[in-house]
Each structure stands twice: as structure tokens, then as C-alpha cells.
């Protein structure tokens, strides 16, 4: 069983690189068109996936997505001021509708 391990690792690496390449937006692919990367990954079993992982895609640093204030680009809904504002506006609209219904009765 242990003798099959290198082959399984090569297949797993190829599958991972292939799926990663397919899921990467075209604007994040470096050096070659996406279709060429797919061919390289599939035709060159060890070298293709390794080259894709190191040179084929724009990678962000480990603290990636940081804005100018050191805050992540994505914010939890309860910390997002725009989301909280939309909730307040929605609640105000519901309150107005309730008041109109009471006035019309």
C-alpha cells in the first residue's frame, strides 16, 4: 500500500491545482491564459501543478485583504455600518406601515 502513496500524492496535487485553476477568476491568473494553465497542469503531472501553485495565480499575503486602516475588507454584519443602517431603515419603514394601518382603521 505504501508504494502507491507517491502516485496518490501526485494525483491529489494535480486535482487540487486543476480545481484551483478552474475556480480562479481570469484577472487573477498570471503569465498565461487560463486555458494554457489547465493544459500545463494536466499534461505535466508533477511540474505543471507545482508551477501553477507558485507562479500561476496572484496570491495575497497571509494578512491579505487588509484595508488602509488595518481592517479586513469583509466585515461581520453586526460591525458593518451600511448593514446596520439598512436594518434601521427597514425597521422605520415597518413602523411607518404599522402607523398607517392604525390610522386607516
Task: Indicate the pTM of the whole model.
Answer: 0.55
User: Torsion angle of alpha carbons 35, 40, 41, 46, nearest 10°?
Assistant: -170
Q: What is the mean pLDDT of residues 79-90?
A: 86
Greater pLDDT, 75 or 92: 92
Answer left, alpha or beta for residue 31, where phi above 0 means left and psi between -120 and 50 means alpha: left
Residue 34 banded pLDDT, cuts 50, 70, 90: confident
Query: For residue 12, what pLDDT is reported?
Result: 93
Residue 43 banded pLDDT, cuts 50, 70, 90: very high
Amino acid at each position: 500500500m505504501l508504494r502507491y502513496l507517491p502516485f496518490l500524492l501526485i494525483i491529489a496535487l494535480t486535482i487540487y491545482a486543476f480545481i484551483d485553476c478552474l475556480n480562479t477568476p481570469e484577472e487573477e491568473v498570471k503569465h498565461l491564459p487560463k486555458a494554457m494553465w489547465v493544459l500545463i497542469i494536466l499534461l505535466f503531472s508533477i511540474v505543471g501543478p507545482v508551477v501553477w501553485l507558485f507562479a500561476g495565480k496572484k496570491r495575497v499575503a497571509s494578512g491579505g485583504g487588509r484595508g488602509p486602516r488595518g481592517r479586513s475588507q469583509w466585515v461581520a454584519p453586526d460591525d458593518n455600518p451600511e448593514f446596520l443602517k439598512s436594518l434601521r431603515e427597514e425597521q422605520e419603514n415597518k413602523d411607518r406601515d404599522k402607523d398607517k394601518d392604525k390610522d386607516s382603521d
